[in-house]
Structure 1
Amino acid sequence: MTFDPQKFIEKKIEEIKKLVGNEKVLAAVSGGVDSTTAAALTFKALGPEQIKVIFIDTGFMREGEPQWVKEILKDVMPVEIVDVKEEFYKRLMGLSDAEEKRKVFRELFYNVVSREAKKWGATWLVQGTTAPDWIETTGGIKTQHNVLEQLGINVREKWGFKLLEPLVELYKDEVRAVARALGLPEEIASRQPFPGPGLLVRVVGKVTMEKLEVVRKATKIAEEGLKELKPSQYFAAVWEDELGEKIMEEPEVYLYKGVRATGVKGDLRAYGPIALVKNVEWNKVYDVWKDVIHRNNEVTHVVSELVEEGEGKYTVSIRAVVTENFMTADVLRVGKDKLEEIANEIIKNVPHVKRVVYDVTPKPPATIEYE
């Protein structure tokens, strides 16, 4: 049956009104299509007297993002920026384990939400949880920060609010259709997904301010360079550039020392090494991951070298995928010249970068994000 966004909106507005009654609601938007659509739908149902929309600036956002979101949504709904950067930096700097980072972030995020809800007198929190979020979390692939009740977390007891999740049965293409039907700006409706913990999950391994600034600057360059190709998701990530064991001779393949990223093996999460491929013929670059993983089944991501500068201490990885539902994804096949142009700009403009690579692993066996 064809999805009808207008019918969905009408049905949900009735449900929200009935469920919430005269109580107050808080919505935390990230600027991504899921959270913004959920907030806009609830705003349409209840109006400004009952719902307050906030943007929590955790310090792990892209350059200028909080102000951009507030400005682009001003004609749809008012957005208040809540600056809690220092609170998040204090707890997250120095952490290395991917799952620990996600869990600490989730705890901090909902503590802030709880605080803001009490100020507003809200008993409900609206959030943009979608079907892939809870499927991945309950399936053990990774902890999505916005999946709570599906894990048995009693949010009312823990944080003092009830959850309103109007999009929980939808997939990304359906959410985008609802966004457009609600009249959200196209920049939001077609926006690529951005993880709740933001750049935190793209600082692979130990979190430091230096790595965070590297990935923030590299992200801006990578997004600018790739946007005309319209990938489903595209970004930069950073980790320490230290090569360990050589696992293949032709082409040359090394494992990064002490660097691990998330992948999918069967239906479960895997947490394994990242492999670097050097000097591979470009016509073979998008298939080389099969040989690498055949050689070492623990590898979760395979990246191909674009530029090695020789100075600096970090690898920046460019990741771009195409997908319809985000449950599986193919690598965007980009020409070598285009990628090298982006890589050289990163080397030239971002301090401390030694090497720039392109991730050539589909999902599965990799996840789209690194952590």
Structure 2
Amino acid sequence: MAGEITLQELDAGKFIEEKVEAIRNMVGNGIAINALSGGVDSAVVTLLGHKALGDRLKTVFVENGLMREGEAQQVVNWFKDLGVTVDVADARAEFFSALAGIIDPEEKREAITQTFYRDVFGRIVKASGAKYLLQGTILTDIDETKAGIKRQHNVFEQLGINPEDAFGYRILEPLVELRKDGVRAVGKALGLPEEVFNRPPFPGPALAARVIGAVTPERIETVRRATAVVETMLRDSGAFQYLAILHEDRVTGIRDGKRDFGLQIEVRCWDSVDARIAEPTQLPFATLTRMAAEIVRTVPGVVSVTYNIGTKPPSTIEAI
């Protein structure tokens, strides 16, 4: 595997030229496909691939039921404005079926990986005739997987897994030499709008990475609503990443003068450069109290909101 290209070393224009040429050489006259989640990494890969292959790159948004509010339509509209057609594949039932009854974090990640790569995307790839999958794996994904911290859903060959044998297609990873700051710089150079290349990172397992315990449509909807509040209220904070987490146990609260066993949301907000280490953002207490009040007001069943003040390490940015 190639070494790291730091932000200081990165010549974004040259990087784009080299990766576009490499993608063309690998795919030849064939067809490639990629999954666009709307996150920074997949957005950058989408534009690199379309710059290299044009309409011979098929771009798909997989609606897994685990995404943020209105994500599918927002992503389709962004890329339509950039001249890229995005097909939406509805796979909500398959993902929730695969996650049913699973509470172990690694088992959740594996269920999502297998459902996405083997079942849902495997089917889409076969129908398209593509032999190559472009994806936005970055260096931090590989580091954390190889170190045993978390099995990132998009890491295979670095673990000795051959995607061609396992899933029937080859995977191209043009961003593996970069960390998040470098990916953002490439996205800017490619012409992505700032609201895309400066989006807070979003995990591959999506909101399933932010539900502790069982993943159900109802619990995902709870964390989805809390996420909308957090992202709205912290988008101008200057933080690297901010998110809401739904805890498993119900906690004792009071509503209308009576005891109410309700839900607990944990808010995390991080200062970081590349996600390897992170410090909790020192948000004003007034911001925290307004955010907590809005979550309790707008998210049914929530009676408690906490703020994480641990560092990474020993914490990780995402909960699962």
Q: Hey, what does 1:54 align to over in structure 2?
A: 60
Q: Hey, what does 1:172 align to over in structure 2?
A: 180
* Structure 1 residue 164, shift from structure 2 partner: 0.8
For 1:347, give the aligned amino acid. Answer: V
* Structure 1 residue 132, shift from structure 2 partner: 0.1
- The alignment yields a C-alpha RMSD, in angstroms, of 1.6
For 1:63, give the aligned amino acid. Answer: E
For 1:71, give the aligned amino acid. Answer: N
For 2:174, give the aligned amino acid. Answer: P
* Structure 1 residue 354, shift from structure 2 partner: 2.0
Residue from 101, 120, 144 that aligns with 2:128: 120
For 1:335, give the aligned amino acid. Answer: P
Q: Hey, what does 1:317 align to over in structure 2?
A: 266
Matches of 1:94 and 1:358 in 2, distance apart? 28
Matches of 1:211 and 1:239 in 2, distance apart? 10
Q: Larger RCO: Structure 1 or Structure 2 (Cα < 8 Å, ≥ 6 residues apart)?
A: 2
8 A Cα contact 2:250 2:261, kept in partner = no
Residue from 70, 81, 90 that aligns with 1:83: 90
3-state SS in 2 of match to 1:229: coil
* Structure 1 residue 308, shift from structure 2 partner: 7.6
Matches of 1:151 and 1:70 in 2, distance apart? 33
1:88-237 equivalences under 5 Å are: 88-110=95-117, 111-237=119-245
1:339 maps to 2:291:
no
Matches of 1:88 and 1:116 in 2, distance apart? 15
Q: Hey, what does 1:285 align to over in structure 2?
A: none
3-state SS in 2 of match to 1:311: strand
1:355 maps to 2:304:
yes
3-state SS in 2 of match to 1:313: strand
Matches of 1:26 and 1:242 in 2, distance apart? 42
Q: Deviations over 1:267-295 (max 9, x none)?
A: xxxxxxxxxxxxxxxxxxxxxxxxxxxxx
* Structure 1 residue 206, shift from structure 2 partner: 1.9
8 A Cα contact 1:138 1:151, kept in partner = yes
Matches of 2:196 and 2:53 in 1, distance apart? 21
Q: Deviations over 1:277-319 (max 9, x none)?
A: xxxxxxxxxxxxxxxxxxxxxxxxxxxxxx9866342110111
Matches of 1:34 and 1:140 in 2, distance apart? 22
* Structure 1 residue 181, shift from structure 2 partner: 0.8
* Structure 1 residue 184, shift from structure 2 partner: 1.1
Identity %: 44
TM-score by length of 2: 0.93
Matches of 1:227 and 1:200 in 2, distance apart? 22
Matches of 2:232 and 2:260 in 1, distance apart? 24
8 A Cα contact 1:241 1:355, kept in partner = no
8 A Cα contact 1:312 1:353, kept in partner = no
Matches of 1:71 and 1:100 in 2, distance apart? 34
3-state SS in 2 of match to 1:334: coil
Q: Hey, what does 2:4 align to over in structure 1?
A: none
8 A Cα contact 1:192 1:233, kept in partner = yes
Matches of 1:313 and 1:220 in 2, distance apart? 20
* Structure 1 residue 39, shift from structure 2 partner: 1.6
For 1:59, give the aligned amino acid. Answer: G
Q: Deviations over 1:31-77 (max 9, x none)?
A: 001011012101101111x1100000110001100110010111321
8 A Cα contact 2:65 2:217, kept in partner = no
**When the two structures are aligned, how many residues end up with a matched partner?**
308
8 A Cα contact 2:96 2:215, kept in partner = no
Matches of 2:52 and 2:89 in 1, distance apart? 24
Residue from 43, 46, 49 that aligns with 1:42: 49
Gap regions ≥5 residues in structure 1: 244-306
Matches of 2:194 and 2:284 in 1, distance apart? 28
Q: Deviations over 1:306-354 (max 9, x none)?
A: x986634211011100100110011000111110111011111111112
* Structure 1 residue 230, shift from structure 2 partner: 2.2
Matches of 1:329 and 1:210 in 2, distance apart? 31
